[in-house]
Structure 1
Amino acid sequence: MLSGTPPFPRLLLLTALLGGPAVADDLFIDNQDLPQVLTATRLKQSAAGVPGSMTVLDSQLIRASGARDIPELLRLVPGMMIGYGASNQPTVNYHGSNVSEARRMQVLIDGRSVYRAGLATVDWSDIPVALEDIERIEVFRGPNTVSYGANALMAVVNILTRSPADSQGTRLKLSRGADGVNDFYASQGLGWEGGDLRLSMSGQEDDGFDHDQSGADYRDSRRLNRINLSVLQQLASNQTLEWQLAAKEGSNQRPYTYQPVFPYVTARGNNADVKAKDYAGSLRWNIDFNDQHSLYVQGSAQHFDRQQVWRACDAALSFSPALTRLWQLDSNYAEQVARNIVNPPANSNPALQALRDQVKTQWDSQGGSQVVCGDVDQSTRETRYDLEIQDTLSLTDNLRLLSGANFRYDQADSQTYFNGTLSDQTWRLFGQLEWRADEHWIIQGGTMFEDSRLSGSSLTPRLAVNYLITPRHGLRAVYSEAVRSPDMFENNVNWSYTVNNLSPYQPGLGRGEYFVKTRGPGDLDQERMRSRELGYNGSFSEIGLNLDLKVFYDEISGMISEPLRNNQYIASNSNKARFSGSEPQLDWRLGQRDRLRLTYAYVDAWASNRNDSEASARNSGSAGWLRDWGDGWSSALFYYGDDALNQYRYERVDLRLAKRLRIRRSNLELAALWQQRLDDEPITLAQNRYDSRQRLSVSAELEF
C-alpha cells in the first residue's frame, strides 16, 4: 500500500495514524513521565532522544523468560549472536566477529567492567551476579567508546541491580531440571534509618552438553556459588553512599584435548578442569548539589583467579633444546620436522638443516618410543583497580554537559602466558554535550580521550542529531567512531610451558620447557570502527506500543582475528569487516494482561577472515507473548531463532507457566519451563550436542 513512500515519511504517517489523540495535543506537553535510559551517554534520556539504539530487558522480562544466565537473556536483543565455544562456555557477539572469542563488547555491573583485559574475554558463565538481583539490563546496540572507552567497540551491556531499598524481606528460590540443573537463590534485605542492605547467596549447577559429534560423553559440567552484598546509605539530604561486595567460586570441567605433536604417541592424560574464584568490591559517593548539578566518585577493585593444572603426554623430544631453537628460528619448519620426524623434510638453510639433523639423531637414539608425561599449568590471575569521577551540569535549560575522568590499573599474572606478571595503566577523559536547539531538534556530541601504557592513545568522537516529532517520537542520525585496544594476551603474550613432575624420570628431565614458544608482536595497533545509523523510536502511549527501527552501516579496520592458541599464532592488524542491515524492535502492552514483544535483525556481514564471517547470522530474532490469566496464573511463550550461526541453524520455543499463591503474609510462586528445539543441529560447534530436543525445569520461589 505504501510501496512508493520513502522510509522516513512512512514513519511520520504511521505516527499520525497510530498516535491520533496524542499527536493532536500540544506537542511538548506530556502528562505522563517518559521512561528514562542511562547507558547511551551516561545522561538520563528518553528513548526518543538517545543517540543510538537501545534495548531494555526489564525485571518482568527477566522473570518471564526463565533464563538461567545472562547470555540466554540476550537472545531477546536484536542483533545479538549467542553461541557456545567448546566446553559449554557461552559466547556473545553483537552482529558477529570471531565466534569463540567475544572481544568487542563492554560488559558492566553497576558501572564496574567485568571484561578481562589480560586474556581479552568476558567469562559469561562466571559473572558474579544472580539474575534475581538484577533490576534491568540496558543494551546499547552500537559502538560506544565515547562513553565507556576501548572495548565498547560494537555494543555495551549494562547490568543494573536492584536497589537494596527495593529488596526488603526474605526471598528463597530452588530450581531443578534436565541436564543436571540444580540452582538456588536466597536473599535477605533489611533497612534502618537512612540505610538499606541486601545480602544474597546463589548457586548454579548443570551437566552441560550430553555428547560430541562422535557420540562420546562430553565432559563440560559447570558449578558455581556466589555471595553478594549491596548497601545504600543516605549521608545527607543530597548525598548517598553505595557499596557492593561480590565473591564467586566454582569449577568448569574441560575435556582432555591435547594432541601429541610427534607420531606414534598416544593421546592420554588428565582432564583440564578450571577452578575459578572472583572477588569484587566497589564504593560510590553521589552528590546532588541542586537540580541542575550532580557529581559522583566511584572506586572499584576486582580479582579474577583461574586455576588450571592438567597432565599431558608427548615424546621426550618435545623438550629438546635443539628443537626449541629450531622453533625460534622458523616455527613452521619446526612443526613440519616434529610431525614428520621419521622422515623430516630437508631445508636449504644450513643452520636450520643442522638443527633438523640434531633433532632427528635424538629421535633415532630414543627409538621413537620414549614418552613422558607431566603437569601443565595454565593458571591465570588478573587484578583491576578503577577510579572514576563524573560531573553532570545543566548549563541552561537547553544545554547539558557531562564530563569525567577515569584511571584504571590492570595486572595479569601467569607463568604460562606472560612468563610472570604484566601490567597496564589507562587514563581516560570523556565528555558529552546535549543541546536542545528548540522543542524539536537535539544535537549531541561526545568524545573520549584514552591513553594506555601498552596500547597508546586514541581520540574517538560521536555526533548525533535527533528530531523529536513529539516527546515520544524521534528520528535520529548518528555517526560515531570507536576503537578496541589490543589486550595483553594479543599484543604482549609470552607463551611457553614449563612442564613439572615429568615421568618416567630421567636425569635433567624432572621438569622441562616445551619446545613451542609464542611471543606477541608488541606493536599491534588499535582496531578502528566507523559507524553510521539512521533510526526511529516511538512510544504510542494510547495503545501501549513501543517501537524502535534501525538501519546501520559499520566498518571495522585493523581487526585482530587470529584465534588465541599456542601454535602458529601470528597476531596482526591485517583483517577487516563490514556489517550493514536493519533491526526492528517492538514491545506492545495489550491492556493489563498481555504483552507482545518482537525483535528481528537482518545482518549483511563480510569479513576478510573466515573466522569472523562465519559468526554472523543473516536473519535472527525473537518473539514473546506474556499473559496474566488472573487468579495468580501467568504464562510466557518465547521463540528464538537464527538461520546460520557458524553454519548451524538454531530455533527454540520456550513455554513458562507459573502459579502465584498467597500464604498468610508470604508469596509462593511455582513455575515450570519447557524448552523445545525445532531443529536437530549442534549449537555453534559440531561437538555441542544434546541427547534430546526437549528440556524441562521447575522452580519454587518464596517471598516473605
Structure 2
Amino acid sequence: GTVTRTEDRIALLNVSVAVRGTNVRTATNTSGQFTLERVPAGLQVIEFRWLGYGAVDQQVTVVANQTVTVDASLVRTAIALGELTVEAASRAPERVVEAPAAVSIVTPRVLQSSSLTGQAGVALQRLPGVDVVQSGINDFNINARGLNSSLNRRILVLLDGRDLAIAFLGAQEWNGLPVPLEDLDRVEMARGPGSALYGANAFSGVVNMITPDARQVLGTKLTLGGGELATFRGDLRHAGMIGEGRVGYRINAGFYQSESFTRSRTGIGDWEEEYSGATDDTSILPDPTAIEVMPLDGQTTAGLGQPATGEADDLRNIYGSARFDYYANDGSVFSVDGGATRVENEVFVTGIGRVQVKKGTKPWARAAWAADRFNLSAWYTGRNTNEDQVSLASGAPLLETSAIFHFEGQTNHNFLEDRGRVVVGASFRNYRVDTDSTLMAPSDDDRSDKSYSVYGQVEVKVIPELKAVAALRYDNADLHESEYSPKAALVYSPTPDHSIRVTLNQAFQVPNYSEFFLRAAAGAPADFSLLEAGLRASPLGPALAGVPAGELFAGAPGGSSSVVPVLALGNAGLGVEKVTGWEIGYKGSIGDRAYVSVDLFQSKIKNFVTDLLPGVNPTYGSWTSPAAVPDAFKPALEQAVRDNLLMAGQLTAALGLTRVDGATAIVVSYTNAGSVKQRGIELGFGVQLVDEVRFDGSYTFFDTGFFEDQIKGLQAGDVLEPNTPKHKANLSLAYSGLQGLDAEVAVRLIDGYDWAAGIFQGHVPASQTVTLTGGYRINNYFRIHAAVTNLFDQERYHLFGGSVIGRRILGGVTTYF
C-alpha cells in the first residue's frame, strides 16, 4: 500500500506500518509505499504510526497466497504526552506519563537537527535537570542533579542495552558512537538514582539510546556535510529485507574530520591568554605559570615553557557497523550486530590533567533475543590505544587494552488479570584491563574482574488510578562488597494524561580502576638534598653517620635524596559511593497541544572518593628512618623531617612522605570521606502554538546554598563543589511546514558557578548560547540542512580546565534512495 499526508496527498517516508498482535512490521519508502510479508490469513488490523501524526488503524481481510492493497492517509497533530512510551524507568515499555521516574525523551526532530554537529551532548542538553559541559569538539561530560566532573560516570549510558563506558575510567567517549544521531530511533533519559534495576554507576540517571532495526529504515541514506574548523563528515546507511521478510540487515559507515577548539598550553601564559577572551574578570583567570610539557600532536616547542608552533593534527573518527535481525513466526526477534570505531587526536580533561588520545580503536559486538515475555543478550566492548595516549601535563605515555563482556537475561509477566507486572533479571559481567604498567603497577595490571547481579521489579495497580512499584537489586563483585539497591514508588493517575508520583531510590558508584590501582608520576621528582644537609648539620647529625651521604631520602637502592619520586597511587581498599534520593513529580498534558512536567528532588550522597591527597591511604604510612639510624633517634628524626617540610610550606611532601616498596617517595592517593545533601526543581514544558510552530523549554533550580550548608566530614584538603549552576534554562522555537521547510532557534542560559575536579579548580562564567538549525526537504529523496552552534560566537569554557568553545557553522545534504 501507500501512505500519504491528508492535507496535500504527499507521500510520507518512514511511517511505521504493523499488523496488530504480530511481529510483522515495516516502514514506508521514499514513495510512501510499503510491503508486509508473511501476514497471517484472516481478519487483520493494520496500524499506521508516525510521531506528530494521528494514528490510523485499518481492518483488512487477508487471503492465503494473495496480495491485498491497503492505503492510508495521516493527519498532522501535536505530539501528545500520553502517546509516548519509554523503557528506561522500568526496563519494560510503559507510557511516559505513568513511568515511576523523572523521564524525558529527545524527539526525532532534535536528533535530526543536532546530527550535523556529530555531538550527542547538543541533543541531550535541552532536557530538564541535565548538565552538559563541552571541551574541544567531542569531550562531553553529561550529568544530572549536581556533582558533574571531568570524565563523569554518574550517568549510565546504554546503546541497545550495551554499556558505552570504557573499562579503565568508567566514563564515556562520546566521539565513539557507532551511528549518527539521526539514525537513533529513540533517546530517553531517566534522572535520579537507578541502581535498583541497572546496578553500579546508574548513580544520577540513565541515558537509553535505541537504534532502529532494518524494517524501520528500509533503503539507503547518504549524508554529506561540512563547514567551519575545516569540518567534513559523511554517513551512509543501507537497510533491506531478504528471505520473504524473515531476515533484515542494516549497514552503517561514517567518517568525520575537523580541527578543534583545543589549544596547546606549553608556553608561559598560554592558558591565561586562552581564557582571557572568555571573561572580563581577571581574578578568575588561571595561573600564567601553569603549563603543560607536551603540545598537541602535530605541534612542536623549543623547550619547556615555550609556546607551541605548527598546526595541530585534525580530529578524525571512522566507524562501521552491521546488524542482522531474524523475525521468527512467534513474534520474537534474534539480532546480531557489531562493528568498530576509530578515534584520533581528541583531548580529554581529566582529574590529573589533559590527555590526548592519538589513536584508539573501539570494537564491539552484540547478540540479543527479544520476545514479548523475555530478553536475552550478550555483548562485548573493547578499547585499544593503537598509539600512546599522552598526558599533556607530564608527557607520560598511557596505554590501555581493555574489554568488557556482559551476559544478561530478563523476563516479565503480568498477573492479577493484568493489574500487576513483574520484571526479573540476572546478569554477569567480566572486565579485563591491561595498561602495560603505564597506569597500574605490574602486580595489579593485566587483570580480570567479575560481577554478578539479580534484580526484580513488581508493579501493582492497587486501584485503577494508583500504581505501586517496588524494586530490589543485589550486586556482588570482585572489586566491592555486596550491595543491595532498593526502589519504591507510587504513581497516581487521576486521568490518562496526568500523573503524580512519589519515589524513593538508592544507588551506588564503584571506584574506577584508576582510583583503585593507579600508579603514575604525579609531578617532577622532589629534591631533598638541602633538607638532608641541614639534618646532618643539626644535633641529629651523628645519628646519620651510618647512612651514605646523599641517600637519606633515596627513592631506590643506590638512589639520591635529590631525586625523590612523587607518585599518584590508587587505593584498593576504597568503598563505593552511595546516594539515597527522594522525589515528587508531576507529568501532564493540557489539552491536545501542551504538556508540563515538574520534578522536585532531594538526595543524600556519602562516602565520596576524594581527589588525590597526601597522607590519606593507610597502605602508605608516614616515612620511616633508614635501618642504619639507631632506634633511639628514629622518632626525633622523623618528626624533624616533617617539621622542616611544614616550615618550608611543602604540605604535600610533609603529609605524603612515605615508603613504597621500601624506597622513599611522596604519595598522593584516594580515600572515602564526607557526605552532602542536595535538592532542586526541574521543569519541562512544550506548547504546539499552531500546526507548524512549537515552543519548548526547561528550567532547573539547584539549591547551591543548601548544598554548601550540608557538606559534612570532608577529608582535609579535599574540595567539594556541586559543579552545576544554581539556575539553568533552555528555550526553543521550532517551525515545521507542510512544504518541507523546518527551522529552529534554541537558547541555553547558564548561571556562573565554581568548578572543582582534580587539579582543575576555578570559576565558570555565565553563558547565553544560541543555536540555529534549519532544513528544506526538496522531496522525499533530498534534504538540505544547516546548523550554527553558538550563533553569536560567545567564547566560553564550560568546565574549568576545558577548551574555550566558539561558533561553528555547518551545512549538509541528505539523500534517500
The one-letter code sitting in structure 1 at the alignment partner of 2:740 is G
1:585 to 634, 659, 684: 684
**How far 1:272 moved relative to its partner?**
5.1
- Against the structure 1 CA distance between its residues 107 and 399, is the aligned structure 2 distance closer, same or farther, given a 3 Å change threshold? same
1:58 aligns with 2:145: no
**How far 1:519 moved relative to its partner?**
2.9
- Against the structure 1 CA distance between its residues 255 and 158, is the aligned structure 2 distance closer, same or farther, given a 3 Å change threshold? closer
2:250 corresponds to which residue?
198
1:102 corresponds to which residue?
152
Any conservation in 1 of the 2:491–2:501 contact (CA below 8 Å)?
yes
Structure 2 distance, partners of 1:489, 1:173, is 39
Structure 2 distance, partners of 1:229, 1:159, is 17
Paired residues for 1:422-501 under 5 Å: 422-495=447-520
Any conservation in 2 of the 1:82–1:91 contact (CA below 8 Å)?
yes
User: Which 10-residue stretch deviates more, 117-126 or 615-624?
Assistant: 117-126
1:339 corresponds to which residue?
none
Any conservation in 2 of the 1:120–1:489 contact (CA below 8 Å)?
no
Deviations 1:476-523 (A, max 9, x none): 0111111111222212334469x9xxxxxxxx99xxx99344432211
**How far 1:649 moved relative to its partner?**
1.6
Structure 2 distance, partners of 1:651, 1:246, is 39
User: Which 10-residue stretch deviates more, 236-245 or 393-402?
Assistant: 236-245
- Against the structure 1 CA distance between its residues 480 and 639, is the aligned structure 2 distance closer, same or farther, given a 3 Å change threshold? same
1:268 corresponds to which residue?
none
- Against the structure 1 CA distance between its residues 235 and 572, is the aligned structure 2 distance closer, same or farther, given a 3 Å change threshold? same
- How many pairs are equivalent? 583
Q: Equivalent residue of 1:523, what SS? A: coil
1:381 to 397, 401, 406: 401
1:667 to 781, 803, 806: 781
User: What are structure 2's unaligned runs of at least 5 residues?
Assistant: 1-79, 264-270, 275-306, 525-557, 615-664, 756-763
- Against the structure 1 CA distance between its residues 272 and 669, is the aligned structure 2 distance closer, same or farther, given a 3 Å change threshold? closer
Deviations 1:445-495 (A, max 9, x none): 001100011112100101001111112110001111111112222123344
- Against the structure 1 CA distance between its residues 614 and 677, is the aligned structure 2 distance closer, same or farther, given a 3 Å change threshold? farther
1:284 corresponds to which residue?
368
Any conservation in 1 of the 2:781–2:815 contact (CA below 8 Å)?
yes
Larger strand proportion of the pair? 1
Deviations 1:300-326 (A, max 9, x none): 111111245378999xxxxxxxxxxxx
2:696 corresponds to which residue?
597
Q: Equivalent residue of 1:138, what SS? A: strand
Any conservation in 2 of the 1:410–1:424 contact (CA below 8 Å)?
yes
Deviations 1:14-63 (A, max 9, x none): xxxxxxxxxxxxxxxxx997421111011221122211100101212211
Any conservation in 1 of the 2:341–2:362 contact (CA below 8 Å)?
yes
1:681 aligns with 2:796: yes
Q: Equivalent residue of 2:239, what SS? A: strand
The one-letter code sitting in structure 1 at the alignment partner of 2:249 is L
Identity across matched positions, percent = 19
Structure 2 distance, partners of 1:612, 1:238, is 51
TM-score w.r.t. length of structure 1: 0.77
Q: Equivalent residue of 2:703, what SS? A: strand
1:223 to 316, 322, 336: 316
TM-score w.r.t. length of structure 2: 0.67
Deviations 1:308-364 (A, max 9, x none): 5378999xxxxxxxxxxxxxxxxxxxxxxxxxxxxxxxxxxxxxxxxxxxxxxxxxx
**How far 1:581 moved relative to its partner?**
0.9
- Against the structure 1 CA distance between its residues 533 and 220, is the aligned structure 2 distance closer, same or farther, given a 3 Å change threshold? farther
1:301 to 380, 400, 425: 380
The one-letter code sitting in structure 2 at the alignment partner of 1:667 is Y
User: Which 10-residue stretch deviates more, 559-568 or 136-145?
Assistant: 559-568
**How far 1:99 moved relative to its partner?**
2.6
Paired residues for 1:37-52 under 5 Å: 37-52=86-101
- Against the structure 1 CA distance between its residues 253 and 110, is the aligned structure 2 distance closer, same or farther, given a 3 Å change threshold? closer
Q: Equivalent residue of 1:76, what SS? A: coil
Any conservation in 2 of the 1:253–1:273 contact (CA below 8 Å)?
yes
Any conservation in 2 of the 1:97–1:616 contact (CA below 8 Å)?
yes
1:251 to 332, 337, 344: 344
Q: Equivalent residue of 1:125, what SS? A: helix
Q: Equivalent residue of 1:456, what SS? A: coil
Deviations 1:649-689 (A, max 9, x none): 22211111211112xxx511111222314744333236622
The one-letter code sitting in structure 1 at the alignment partner of 2:84 is P
2:808 corresponds to which residue?
695
- Against the structure 1 CA distance between its residues 99 and 487, is the aligned structure 2 distance closer, same or farther, given a 3 Å change threshold? closer
**How far 1:139 moved relative to its partner?**
0.1
Any conservation in 2 of the 1:651–1:678 contact (CA below 8 Å)?
no
**How far 1:87 moved relative to its partner?**
8.4
User: What are structure 1's unaligned runs of at least 5 residues?
Assistant: 1-30, 261-270, 289-293, 315-373, 500-507
1:534 corresponds to which residue?
584
- Against the structure 1 CA distance between its residues 533 and 677, is the aligned structure 2 distance closer, same or farther, given a 3 Å change threshold? farther
**How far 1:432 moved relative to its partner?**
0.4
Structure 2 distance, partners of 1:655, 1:313, is 35
Structure 1 distance, partners of 2:136, 2:191, is 27
Structure 2 distance, partners of 1:55, 1:655, is 22
2:759 corresponds to which residue?
none
Paired residues for 1:59-138 under 5 Å: 59-66=108-115, 67-85=117-135, 89-138=139-188
Any conservation in 2 of the 1:496–1:514 contact (CA below 8 Å)?
no
Structure 1 distance, partners of 2:580, 2:390, is 46
The one-letter code sitting in structure 2 at the alignment partner of 1:437 is V
1:411 to 417, 427, 432: 432
Any conservation in 1 of the 2:515–2:670 contact (CA below 8 Å)?
yes
1:643 aligns with 2:751: yes
Paired residues for 1:254-265 under 5 Å: 254=347
Q: Equivalent residue of 2:121, what SS? A: helix
Any conservation in 2 of the 1:247–1:279 contact (CA below 8 Å)?
yes
